[in-house]
Copies of this chain bind each other. A is one copy, B any other.
Amino acid sequence: MIGAGQLARMTQQAAIALGIGFRVLADSAADSAALVTADVTIGDYRDYADLAAFAAECDVVTFDHEHVPLEHVEKLVASGVRIYPGSQALPFVQDKLRMRAHLGALGFPVPAWSPVESTAQVVAFAGQHGWPVVAKAASGGYDGKGVWVLASAADADALFARGGVRLYVEQHVAFSRELAALVARSPSGRSAAWPVVQTVQDDGICVEVLAPAPELAPERAEQATRLALRIADELDVVGLLAVELFEVADGVLVNELAMRPHNSGHWSIDGAVTSQFEQHLRAVLDWPLGDTAARAPHTVMVNLLGGTGPEAAELGARIPAALSDGDVRLHLYGKAVRAGRKIGHVTISGDDLVDLRARAHRATDALRGEPA
């Protein structure tokens, strides 16, 4: 796996069970997955020589993130490396403009959007779709970074004054909530979908996932699942595909794609028969896919974000308080605590959603060491 963040760390847990010789290409020995993996190569994912040397020791190569330069992936594929997702699928997560254009052309429901290079173009778009509009960087954004809500021409001016990124604008969708559809697909075309979940964002960062999405109409769940499976087929995705969706009055709109294990699927470690991390491995190895059924009526996943207090770093000392609820499942990433950084998550499964949410948040509050 190229990249050694928390996604690689949790993939390592799955690889241990499956008896897979798992290695990571890490930026540093302190990376989340490098701390817990026996076979670590330190190298630069932007450097072709580092990638090629790493790939030479692997049967199959996959990613913890989507930032490997496309030309390097193309060159690896051309030299015979089995690398998933491949160079035909990857552009659609590396370049959101391309993703929007392609999904629109294929007829998938997407918000109204337009590439923009000037304030005049933003104003023209707002004239059609109303203010505010949402501006997004075509590449490199994550966790709310690379997204700006523009309320006026002055906001657009300020954004263009910063310069440096290709932008597009999108209508500000009046969604009722956000959903995510997670599917896996193998080279031989087998695919599997987990129950559609609800994601709760705060400032662009996923803070909570409810699995399955509560009171989602079955036909809408099926629509979202079919849509994700079709996107996986159309883009020839191998491995995991997460489709982030806006739920609107008459259906769903595609917001973002990710072609790797995804925060919206962390609940599956404890809450589904097969976790997204195990499934990603099974998919890229072209093994049969595992059962994606939920193991409980409700599973709640709450992200643990680094706190701001001076005692925020004393995470270890606060673990017992979080574990005093014996049903809470804790997942820490071994990352240094920084304010707002994703450093772990908890899940809890059961029958009573209101109770489960309260208990999950109590656990993360205890871990942060500050009142919620």
By CB atoms of chain B within 10 A, which of A315, A329, A349 has the most? A329
Beta-carbon contact of B323 and A288 below 8 Å: yes
Among A35-43, A46-54, A128-136, A152-160, which stretch is in contact with chain B? A35-43
Beta-carbon contact of A36 and B18 below 8 Å: no
Q: Quick check: is A274 within 8 A (CB to CB) of the other chain?
A: yes
Residues of B within 8 A of A323 (CB): 282, 287-288, 290
Residues of B within 8 A of A332 (CB): 17-19
Q: A16-B9, A17-B332, A330-B17 known; A320 and B288 CB under 8 Å?
A: yes
Interface residues of A in 324-372 (CB under 8 A from B): 324, 326-327, 329-334, 344, 349
Q: Count this chain's copies in the assembly.
A: 2
Q: How large is the interface on A (under 10, 10 to 19, 20 to 34, 35 or more residues)?
A: 35 or more
A7-41, CB under 8 A of B: which get 1 and which 0? 00110110111110110000000000011111010
Task: Write the nearest CB–CB distance from A280 to chain B, whole angstroms.
Answer: 14
Question: Complex Cα distance A274/B325, Å?
Answer: 12
Task: Write the nearest CB–CB distance from A22 to chain B, whole angstroms.
Answer: 8
Q: A16-B9, A37-B38, A40-B38 known; A288 and B326 CB under 8 Å?
A: yes
Q: Quick check: is A319 within 8 A (CB to CB) of the other chain?
A: yes
Interface residues of A in 266-308 (CB under 8 A from B): 273-274, 282, 286-291, 295-296
